[in-house]
Structure 1
Amino acid sequence: MGRIVVVNFTSIDGVIQAPLFADEDREGGFDHGGWVPPYSDDTVNAFMQKATVDAAGMLLGRRSYEILRDAWAPADDAEPAIAAMNRMPKYVVSSAPVDLTWRNSHQVGGDLRSVVTELKDRTEGDLVVFGAGTLIRGLAEHDLVDEYRLLIFPIVLGAGKRMFDDRGRLARFRLTDSVVAASGVVILTYTRDGSA
């Protein structure tokens, strides 16, 4: 049975919007895009590569899918993380039409709990969620996340889309790993507490 693993870049104040590129997502007038690269170092890059290469597939919202597709689908497969993203199944949760031009992409819709439960039942390994604030909030609301891997960057952005809102459910996790990168990024892994 698969697991839902959220891997996300976040600022100290919880912002996840447009971490990699200036023009990645300017919705709401956000103009601080591209805040991750100045802090990316060998530790951060190695962590993200391992999280990607080890994944069995990706679970993405429509907007995150489009951002990742446009950035990585045409990139060189010689890079292990890019080759992994290109080969693995990508499940896009959306009720609106999605241009599924990235190979091995599939649109899924309907009741989120049912869709995710069915995907977990037929997957061996981790279905990784990158970005996807709306999807993450829906997963939290339905208590569907098995693990959070959060990379907390030493920056306060003051505004922007955040990972959580007030519709989540109580869910207990335990800290199973922590790493502090030389750049000041703290990488925390929280795994579902089986006693909850």
Structure 2
Amino acid sequence: MRITLTTFLTLDGVMQAPGKPTEDTSGGFRHGGWQFHYADEELMTYTTKWFAEADAFLLGRRTYEIFADYWPTVTDPGNVVASRLNALPKYVVSATLDRAEWHDTTLISSDVLGKVAELKARPGRELQVHGSGVLARSLLDHGLVDELRLWTYPVVLGEGKRLFEPGRVATAMSLVESRPTGSGCVLSVYRPAGEPSHGDFTRQGQD
């Protein structure tokens, strides 16, 4: 399976608590629910399309708890997101959870990178990561993500947890797709492209 990462970002890179005010208030975050007024038809179209490609999910503890609190209550068989999340295997990376009651959930509490590599090596389409900031940063740093799907919204918050914080491993990206939505969001799909290359404009034309 290939690992895909989907997340919502502000213009200044914040990914914390896009869904509702109480989603994640850690660090005194005051802007939970910032994505709500930008949700549009394109978001639902792409979300449905991508969830239909999932064969399993890999989630961090906080994202798992948010999903497990809501999605099991959605029983409409026509809802692709709920149907996939409720039926497919879910792997949760956590050092604190001692049990997970959502259907077909497996906890990963040790040798995380090794076990993720084992999952990635299994046959299938996509092992999907949604949100899960701490996990996502680790997977990116260790070259385990095959595709990034970033929804960037026209809002600046000035605080909050970011996907690309200082200290990340330097990585070049190849842009696969980019399109604006009606709400002003920009969807960008990237694939890692090795180490960044470097040059010197002052030497341009001298070599």
TM-score calculated relative to the size of structure 2? 0.88
Structure 1 residues 170-189: aligned runs within 5 Å: 170-189=170-189
Which residue is equivalent to 1:134? 134
Conservation of the 8 A alpha-carbon contact between 1:56 and 1:123: no
CA distance in 1, matches of 2:9, 2:151: 6
> Which amino acid is 1:58 matched to?
F
Deviation, structure 1 residue 139: 0.9
Deviation, structure 1 residue 98: 4.3
Structure 1 residues 60-71: aligned runs within 5 Å: 60-71=59-70
> Which amino acid is 1:36 matched to?
Q
Which residue is equivalent to 2:48? 49
Which residue is equivalent to 2:102? 102
Deviation, structure 1 residue 86: 0.7
Deviation, structure 1 residue 85: 0.9
Deviation, structure 1 residue 153: 0.6
Conservation of the 8 A alpha-carbon contact between 2:4 and 2:145: yes
Instruction: Specify the structure having the higher radius of gyration (Cα).
Output: 2
Which has the larger displacement, 77-86 or 13-22? 77-86
Conservation of the 8 A alpha-carbon contact between 1:64 and 1:132: yes
Conservation of the 8 A alpha-carbon contact between 2:171 and 2:194: no
What is the number of residues matched between the two proteins?
195
Task: List gaps (5 residues or longer) in structure 2.
Answer: 197-207
CA distance in 2, matches of 1:98, 1:24: 21
Conservation of the 8 A alpha-carbon contact between 2:171 and 2:195: no
Task: List gaps (5 residues or longer) in structure 1.
Answer: none
CA distance in 1, matches of 2:162, 2:194: 27
> Which amino acid is 1:146 matched to?
D
